[in-house]
Amino acid sequence: MKNPILLISCAVLMLCSTALQAQQIRCSTNDHEQQLQQANPKRQQQRQNLEQRVRQMLSAGQRSTPNITIPVVVHVLYNGTAQSISDAQIQSQIDVLNEDFNRLNADTTNTPALWKPIGGNAGITFCLAQTDPSGAPTNGIERRQTTVNSFNTNDNIKSFATGGLDAWDPTQYFNIWVGNLGNFLLGYAEFPTTALSNTYGVVIHYNYFGRDGSSNAPFNKGRTATHEVGHCFGLYHIWGDDGGSCTGSDQVADTPPQGGEYYGCPSYPQTDNCSPTAPGAMFMNYMDYTDDACMNLFTQGQATRVLATFNGSPYSVLQNSTACGTANLFNDDAQLLSIQSPSGNLCTGNVNPVVTIRNAGADTITAVDIRYFVDNNAPQLYNWTGTLLPLTSTQVSLPAISTISGPHTFSAVCTQPNGQADPNPSNDSAGVSFNVVSTGNALPYAEGFEGAFPPTGTQLNNPDNLTTFEQTTAAFRTGTKSMYINNYDYDSNGQVDELVLPNLDLTSVSNPRLAFWLAYRLYTNPTSSPNYSDTLTVQVSPDCGQTWTEVYRKFGTALVTTPSPSYTLNAYVPVASHWRRDSVDLSAYANLDNVVVKLRHITDYENNLYIDDINIDGAALTTALAENPQGQLSVSPNPARDRVRIDLSPMKGLVQLQVYDLSGRLIDNRSGLTPVQVFELEIESYSSGSYIGMCTGSGEVFRFSFVKD
């Protein structure tokens, strides 16, 4: 007779083991995806666009060429030294990825005989990068001791500002972050879309990364990373995440239907409500939740989908990266890395150069000669001394030089590192263009974006080196071209892009004004999602860019120029009636002869914005009214003493109302008015005289005028 106490004890142990596994969160990719979609309203559509592209490629029999090599950087975040896993453990994870994605894993022998013929080889090789983004040697691992006790799925681990480490260029490196994810979470991934993302990659708990070392059983064979990287290349959970309804799909034909995830190490076969007969569920697939030792295959269908997703996504450029190649260092190699000053427009010819030099060699540099000059003038020599360790840089302020008004080129060359001839002169020099403007260009200023872009005399600031203002022929107010920024594909928020206009002399007119045409539509419904909008501002500098004052800001429905609806899920391209002319009062700067104006755009996941026909002169108001013959609004009483009533009913959409005196000075500015109302404008504080104004909304501009007694 069997011992009942022993049987009960065994049962309790089995239940405890099952409960322990259940509280381990094997994968939080779907939860993370929901967070990304809440932050970016376009993300769901971008994922659908990529899925459609992948299906088209698969139906056409297309797939990327196998034998792809992808450079990897592993960012290790540790709060205590035990969390800073060894280089050997990191390399073991790279080995696991290469085995699993190439069907070279030793445990293929554990694949059931029925499924062995469909075991898939994706033909992707991962290597730890040998060259970092600056071209210097690396082992593909960077480490940071952080004060953060544990990270979660909010991507703080992917930002230096929040205790993590920033991604390396995702078009050159596949990023993996390793850190403490708390007591239960093993890892998560980011699905690809049609838009590049600086957070693309996988995050793995340090206790479940690689095999052996500090990795903890039963997740100590590196399969957490295999699973998450599978998500990064378009694979879904094998059961289709349908809650056991058998209606979901992992979009792969040769994986059987499955009622839900499996844990532990089940015996084969396992049947369920979706696969009620043998061979049943493919619980040993890498995209299930079983223990590492029980996973052993991707299918051919999964491998084909991996390659199609890679080829269809913007990350296909990873196969062209040279970061797996070894960087060769010279002994004494001084590099002129960049020039911080001069740049852009200067108000005076007194130039204070600032450059950055870098030790690109293997030996410490203690002295460098820096020669610098303007145009083709005789160079000046500055002897820098200090301590510059290999692959580090320092900023150097050089003695001032003077030049005259006009366009110039500043050049700098570093030579004689440690008193030796530089063995690599290819990186010794750099140059920038700048312009000394003692007096700005005379008015009027006009730019219609019909010629070269950026226009002559303007400056384009693009700090993230990604999407920015560009020329387009897709829409225009006049001519055949305009300027726009492709917010529809700008998968970011808070990024700033600027168009800086030439220095201007505003003293020639008494009431200078900036006017420009714009067209904009939201992506999200402002009623249900009011927290999203790109922003357009205008800033003015009286001192050649040293200080700036904001004189115009619009976002949300105030920026929208279209009739209802104010949003579209498609990439926005305006029609003729969508354009609206906005006007900005610059009379506060009318006494200055060297003023800089810039248009500043801030992203927030929304839609395309177009700008055309920028004008700065003293007649912007008159020109705006003359070019918009939609009609005259009814005003009563007229003349008036205390208030006038303006009938807005001929207009559509939200209305902006502006009132000017006859000199063109802006007297009143109201926005967000509804066109169904008769708006009462209080004029008691106005001086006696005549006033003109315009109401803009949904691409329309209507005039009105009245007399104050």
Q: Residue 493: phi, psi to the nearest 5?
A: -135, 150
Q: Tell me the one-letter amino acid at 124.
A: I
CA-to-CA dists, residue 259 to 233, 263, 400, angstroms: 23, 13, 74
b/e 395-433 (16+ beta carbons within 10 angstroms → b): ebebeebebeeeebebbbbbbbbbeeebebeebbebebe
- Tell which residue, 87, 118, 114, has the closest CA to residue 277: 114
Q: Residue 261: phi, psi to the nearest 5?
A: -75, 155
- Strand-strand pairing, 549-555 and 535-541: antiparallel
Q: Residue 411: phi, psi to the nearest 5?
A: -130, 150
Cα–Cα distance measured from residue 617 to residue 563, given in angstroms and rounded to the nearest whole number: 30
Cα–Cα distance measured from residue 533 to residue 251, given in angstroms and rounded to the nearest whole number: 34
Q: Pick the catalytic residue: 33, 228, 498, 606?
A: 228
Cα–Cα distance measured from residue 562 to residue 522, given in angstroms and rounded to the nearest whole number: 9
What single DSSP character describes residue 663?
T
Cα–Cα distance measured from residue 585 to residue 668, given in angstroms and rounded to the nearest whole number: 11
Secondary structure tally for the chain: helices H, strands E: 7, 36
The residues that bridge with 689 in the sheet, in sequence order, are 708
SS3 letters for 168-186?
A: CCCCCCEEEEEECCCCCEC
Cα–Cα distance measured from residue 616 to residue 607, given in angstroms and rounded to the nearest whole number: 27
What angle in degrees, to the nearest 10, is found between the helix axes of 223-232 and 87-101?
Answer: 60
228 given a catalytic annotation: yes
- Tell which residue, 107, 297, 88, 98, has the closest CA to residue 212: 88
- In sequence order, what E strands does 416-548 have? 429-436, 441-442, 445-447, 459-461, 470-472, 482-485, 493-500, 504-505, 513-520, 535-541
Q: Are 614 and 541 in contact (CB under 8 A)?
A: no
Helical (H) or strand (E) element with 229: helix 223-232
DSSP string of 360-424, one letter each residue: -SSS-EEEEEEEEEETTSPPEEEEEEEEE-TT-EEEEEPPPEE--SEEEEEEEEEE-GGGS--S-
Using alpha carbons only, give the angle 533, 539, 540 rounded to the nearest 5 degrees: 175
Q: Cis link prior to 565 (omega < 30° from 0)?
A: yes
Instruction: Report CA dihedral (141, 144, 150, 156) to the nearest 10 degrees.
Output: -80
Count CA within 13 A, CB hemisphere, residue 423: 12
Contacts of 452 (CB under 8 A, 6+ apart): none
Cα–Cα distance measured from residue 47 to residue 69, given in angstroms and rounded to the nearest whole number: 24
**Size of the chain, expressed as the number of residues it contains:** 709
Cα–Cα distance measured from residue 222 to residue 67, given in angstroms and rounded to the nearest whole number: 21
Residues annotated as part of the active site: 228
